[in-house]
Amino acid sequence: MKRDIRLAVLLLSIVCLSLSLATAWQVWSARERTLAEINTNNLNLAQTLDTYAEGIITQCAMLLLGLTERLETDGSGQAQLLRLQKLIDRQQHWLSQLNGLVIYDARGDWLLSSTGPIPAGANSADRAFFIHHRDNPSADIFIGQPIRSRSTGDWVITVSRRFDAPHGHFAGVIAITLGVESFLRLFGKIDIGDQGAISLATAKGQLLVRYPFREQDMGHDFSRSPNFVRYFTGAMSGTASFRSGLDGTERLYAFRKNDRFPLVTTVALGKDEALQPWQRQAWLTVGVVLALQGLVVVIGCLLILDIKRRIGAEASLLSAREDLLQANRQLEVLAAQDQLTGLANRRCFDDMLRVESRRAGRHGMPLSLLLIDIDQFKGFNDTYGHIAGDDCLRRVGQLLQQCVKRSGDLVARYGGEELAVILPNTDASGAHAVAELLLERINALAIDHRASPYGRVTASVGVATRHGAQARDRELELLESADQALYRAKAAGRNRVEA
């Protein structure tokens, strides 16, 4: 039954462990699927915003190309500038993100502004985009870092291009400024949660626009940050998970580099916020599984308790059975034992004599019997009392038990003051020798007996022997022969052996 308990505990443990492992695997798989879906959605959104940014920059590039060709062909005289002003006014409504357009000469002085009259002494020779075109002969557009417009005061991104004089010398710069606010309005319409962020940066790691807007982030250079180097360098698109260096929030990022322009569009969701639906589902799943495990444990405990009760009941039954067997053995001992002397009683003697006579007949062995009678025992009782008489019987019985040492021999109280000794596989001479030894030892006890002519307790012994078939089922004859021998010993004066 203890094996049943161990088996039940093992099965219960296996079930609980299996449920735990299956639940952990399911929860982890759901988390991975959730992250994969988030990354896919972020990549799609980044692709869409990248296409939007590319469209705006492409419009700016086309407008700059047209203006550059006119300036390089017609020059930058006053009449030409007026024609360009009218052209810009007609095209400006096609580019809603346009904050302004300014044409600068080779010294950085303003030649034309789409936002209105030119401020007195306006010069932008110190601007990064102007310095770039002045020192770089490339005719490609340049996307500059965010700056505050000197005409409107707004945060803007510059998209610029140089134009040259007829002989190829640097003649000036045309710069379009795109309002950061227009990008923020669009980004603000996209649901990215409370911890999300959308940004547009250059491929070299300079931040152009970031939603949610923080003025201290404008123009931030993160080209040397470990996260930029690890995730954004080299790859055209991808996903990542890290803690932002701007605000310390851990986010799930998806980025897309533009194929035509040096721009990187990034969409990020707060990791904790994005995983909240998964967490709710995970807690629900864990709760259900824990409840199920609790039910399994309760049922298992009840089963184990039932097994323990059965074990206890069986143990009680076994204990009661053992007690009963022990009691039966004690009863058997009591039933076969004389209460006064502790020797075998008459019933045990009769059974043993019957068994040994049959064994002697089967195996052709001799069987001897001694009948011993304490001489003048009635006189002993009359002289010393029955208590002393009982003590005398006990001492003589113990003496006989000590002298007869073979396991098959039996010393019994035959009745009253008569004792008997069964000696299997013992011939007449051996039995006679044992009888003489017993008499010698009884005399050696030297128990006072004033009613005996010997002055001490003595005994008379009758010996009888049967051989082989003569002993088989003839135990009564053997007993009668020993009794007759005892009678002759007593008649001859007692304290002697007769065979």
pLDDT, tens digit, 9 for 90 and up, residues 225-238:
888 888 888 788 99
Q: What is the DSSP letter of 75?
A: -
Residue 340, Cβ density class (10 Å: 0-12 exposed, 13-18 middle, ≥19 buried)? middle
Q: Which of 91-100, 253-262, 426-435 has the lowest mean pLDDT?
A: 91-100
Q: What is the DSSP letter of 274?
A: H
CA dist 449 → 340, 382, 441, 455, 491 (Å)? 20, 11, 16, 5, 19
- Tokens for 297, please give them: 């444990």
| Residue 94 pLDDT greater than 70, yes or no | no
Strand partners, 486: none
Q: What is the pLDDT of residues 294-307, one digit of tens each?
A: 888 888 888 888 88
Residue 2: its pLDDT value, please?
A: 64
Q: What is the pLDDT of residues 451-496, one digit of tens each?
A: 889 999 999 999 999 987 776 667 888 889 999 999 999 999 999 9
CA 115 – CA 151 distance, rounded (Å): 7
C-alpha torsion 152→153→159→164, nearest 10: 70
Q: Helix 386-403 to helix 428-445 angle, to the nearest 10 degrees?
A: 140
Please state the separation of Cα 97 from the chain's center in Å: 60
Q: Give the chain's mean pLDDT.
A: 88
% pLDDT > 70, the chain:
96
Q: What is the DSSP letter of 214?
A: -
Residue 495: its pLDDT value, please?
A: 92
Tokens 């038990």 belong to residue:
401
CB 277 within 8 A of CB 34: yes
Q: What is the DSSP letter of 205?
A: S
pTM for this prediction: 0.61
CB 3 within 8 A of CB 314: no
Q: How does strand 459-467 pair with strand 497-498? A: parallel
CA 437 – CA 443 distance, rounded (Å): 10
> Which has the higher per-residue pLDDT, 152 or 446?
446
Q: How does strand 237-243 pair with strand 250-257? A: antiparallel
Backbone φ, ψ for residue 131 (5° rounding): -60, -40
Residue 93: its pLDDT value, please?
A: 61
Half-sphere exposure of 242 (CA within 13 A, CB side): 14
Give CATH superfamily name and number for 346-498: Reverse transcriptase/Diguanylate cyclase domain (3.30.70.270)
Q: What is the pLDDT of residues 12-34, one digit of tens each?
A: 888 888 888 998 999 999 999 99
| Residue 102 pLDDT greater than 70, yes or no | yes
CA 102 – CA 62 distance, rounded (Å): 16
CA 415 – CA 374 distance, rounded (Å): 11
| Residue 198 pLDDT greater than 90, yes or no | yes
Give CATH superfamily name and number for 32-277: PAS domain (3.30.450.20)
Segments making up each domain of the chain, as ranges: 32-277, 346-498
Amino acid, res. 202 = T
